[in-house]
Structure 1
């Protein structure tokens, strides 16, 4: 679970802004909160509203940034690719900062780093509770001894283990995160007790998933229980969402011959086969012809591919098979979301989705949220969405602390605030006030009479 996310001098965010999923004082909808770990709970959902170009997508890009930097690393001597806040010349010289507070494996952690395009300035990991924090490691390039690993070294008594850890720290490139180095150098295989480091890496690898509205050719990896009938899962879900599809058929195909870029297939195969992955399946689509494939891990750790086709009843009897390209945009979007639904109810997953409502009817979006929230009492998964869909903006569905707004100030910097900041009754409908601009986060239009490029018609 994501407890809190802090961002500073990154894309449209200038000053330090905090996106918090710590529940407020409200007692309603208590099942929207995760189980408490050392006095800390997290909300299971959040919806972020804002006008176009307000910074909603930038918030999501920032959340994804750390994941990419940890899991993919950075080549030696190459710049760290990102953009800081560009509308203030002073900020161009300032470092950027990102911090995640997360809940994973029955512990709470604060992990973050300060950086610029050339190097990591600071990096830290603490185990935290509501009232205290315990240092796991810190890194500061301005100290004589850059890494403080005493807490980890004290748990590993063997000299060779201590030396391996210290060697890994010294070998960490200035543009590389220490956690990325821990992952790529296979420190776990050589040091007996680095559980906290592995837990945090595992959260980024197996819990956090970021999805954009036009995510194509991206393997959406998910896990099925061993006895789950995948055909039944897709058929029931597509029927529930009233797609008009009467069934699903999977056709075995030669994985070497499917028209997906080889580097993407290789990445998916490595992820599924890797001993650190919890996922057993990946759902991918071809951007050229919108064919959908399920890549699965067999019991012998080999990989197989199946082409997904939809079934429609023919008048007079029988079925006709369709490729997904023959279905509507909305049906294909629902198809994209089915693996997400599977993993949500498996638990211990965090989904961050930009513009989830693309191509979907407002009633379907509302029902999907209601579906998740009505059945999430014993499920510790999280659903964070940036959206324009105002039908979700109701206290019948969401708590006040689950509704967030992004606005730009006069300097062009994005700022975050929550509906919890406003004094409103629990039974007040907020959608109308939001559209009227009370909570900000809506576009401000100019005077149409001042448009000189439009011909005047009398």
Structure 2
């Protein structure tokens, strides 16, 4: 679970801003909060609203940037690929800051790093509780690496040497966590569980989905004895798609028309012994078809082409490829793996523009469905959206609603509905659209549009 995310000097974020999933003072909708982990509980949902170009998507890009930097790293001698805040000369040459506070494996952690395009300046990992914190490791230009806590848990001389060697071998443009992930450390040490917990969170818990996320396999895990065909059929029926059923056709995974890098990524994701997922849902733009790739009990991959079944007049059925379905149906199909994993628990989904190609009533019902069923689960759904019908306190708590606003210098500021004195029973959509909570576009004077032809 994500507790808080803090960012500075990244895209439209200039000064340090914090996006928090910590519950506010309100006591309503207690099922929207997770069970406490060492005194800290978090919210299961959050919605971010704002005008176009206000920074909603940049917040999500920042969350994804950290995930990719940990899991994929930066190639030797290559710059760290990102853009800082460009509208202030001091920030163009300044360092950037990212920190995740997370819950995972029964602990609360703060992990972050300071960086620029050339190098990682600082990196740290702390175990945090309500009133205390424990340093796991710290790296900076002034103290190099402080690994005292990790070295205490690995008593043997060879273990200490291996950990220190790994730290010293970390390139300037690489995170220590990435170096740990890329090095065969676990076979040579007794206990680096805290480091592995953070890596596992980025690899198996955090998923970021953009409106155009089509060619990347979405990993999901089925509960034991789940009938995948029945599950997809029931979900598509629930969302009123007009589809009568789902059929699967076995195909050769190696013959699916996808770029080789995606093929290798899917193999690594599913066959990696550290992966908790056993399926990938692939919406493939190369041949406009949808596939489910699964890991078998023999640790091999099998692929199934997904087709939808429609009733034909006279009582027979016709099979369709997903390309023949509406954009809305295909978007629902994209979200089904997310719903599966949400209810399984221990997943964090961050979605940009969830409303794309979907009816407002369907989006609202999806949230009601998730929130009504999530009482005993511990997953999070964080969404950036323009869909104002979700702005109701009948559905959400005040602390679950956030706004992005750009100030006069073009820098994004974050604030929550919790910051406003709003009664718990007041409907807020109208006030939002009128601009009370900011986060709405400020349109210019149409009479100033002199270049357009006049129409009498």
TM-score category of the 2 structures, normalised to the smaller one:
over 0.9
For residue 214 of structure 1, give the secondary structure of its aligned residue in structure 2.
Answer: coil
The equivalent residue for 1:449 is: 447
1:376-455 correspondence to structure 2 within 5 Å: 376-455=374-453
Q: How far 1:327 moved relative to its partner?
A: 0.1
Q: Which runs of 4 or more aligned residues in structure 1 lie more than 2 Å from their structure 2 counterparts after TM superposition?
A: none
The equivalent residue for 2:138 is: 138
Q: How far 1:288 moved relative to its partner?
A: 3.5
Q: How far 1:261 moved relative to its partner?
A: 1.1
Output the CA distance in 1 between the equivalents of 2:452 and 2:357.
31
Name structure 2 gaps, 5 residues minimum: none
Aligned length: 456
The equivalent residue for 2:275 is: 277
The equivalent residue for 1:197 is: 195
The equivalent residue for 1:40 is: 40
Output the CA distance in 1 between the equivalents of 2:387 and 2:226.
33
For residue 52 of structure 2, give the secondary structure of its aligned residue in structure 1.
Answer: coil
The equivalent residue for 2:72 is: 72
The equivalent residue for 1:101 is: 101
For residue 431 of structure 2, give the secondary structure of its aligned residue in structure 1.
Answer: helix
- State yes or no: 1:373 paired with 2:371: yes
For residue 137 of structure 1, give the secondary structure of its aligned residue in structure 2.
Answer: strand
Q: How far 1:405 moved relative to its partner?
A: 0.1
For residue 130 of structure 1, give the secondary structure of its aligned residue in structure 2.
Answer: coil
Q: Tell me the TM-score normalised to structure 2 length.
A: 0.99
Deviations 1:345-381 (A, max 9, x none): 0000000000000000000000000001001111000
Output the CA distance in 1 between the equivalents of 2:125 and 2:254.
42
Name structure 1 gaps, 5 residues minimum: none
Deviations 1:33-79 (A, max 9, x none): 01101111110000000000000000000001111011111111100
The equivalent residue for 1:335 is: 333
Q: How far 1:259 moved relative to its partner?
A: 1.0
Q: How far 1:186 moved relative to its partner?
A: 2.2
Determine which of 218, 221, 228 is the counterpart of 1:220: 218
> Are the counterparts in 1 of residues 258 and 286 from structure 2 also a CA contact under 8 Å?
no
1:77-96 correspondence to structure 2 within 5 Å: 77-96=77-96
Q: Tell me the TM-score normalised to structure 1 length.
A: 0.99
For residue 99 of structure 1, give the secondary structure of its aligned residue in structure 2.
Answer: strand
For residue 228 of structure 1, give the secondary structure of its aligned residue in structure 2.
Answer: coil
1:237-252 correspondence to structure 2 within 5 Å: 237-252=235-250
Q: How far 1:125 moved relative to its partner?
A: 0.2
The equivalent residue for 1:347 is: 345
Output the CA distance in 1 between the equivalents of 2:285 and 2:450.
40
State the superposition RMSD in angstroms.
0.7
> Are the counterparts in 1 of residues 48 and 385 from structure 2 also a CA contact under 8 Å?
yes
> Are the counterparts in 1 of residues 257 and 287 from structure 2 also a CA contact under 8 Å?
no
Output the CA distance in 1 between the equivalents of 2:288 and 2:333.
12
The equivalent residue for 2:119 is: 119
The equivalent residue for 2:263 is: 265
The equivalent residue for 1:54 is: 54
Q: How far 1:242 moved relative to its partner?
A: 0.2
The equivalent residue for 1:13 is: 13
Deviations 1:270-294 (A, max 9, x none): 1100011000000111213420011
For residue 69 of structure 1, give the secondary structure of its aligned residue in structure 2.
Answer: helix
Q: How far 1:457 moved relative to its partner?
A: 2.5
Q: How far 1:139 moved relative to its partner?
A: 0.2
The equivalent residue for 1:175 is: 173
The equivalent residue for 2:151 is: 153
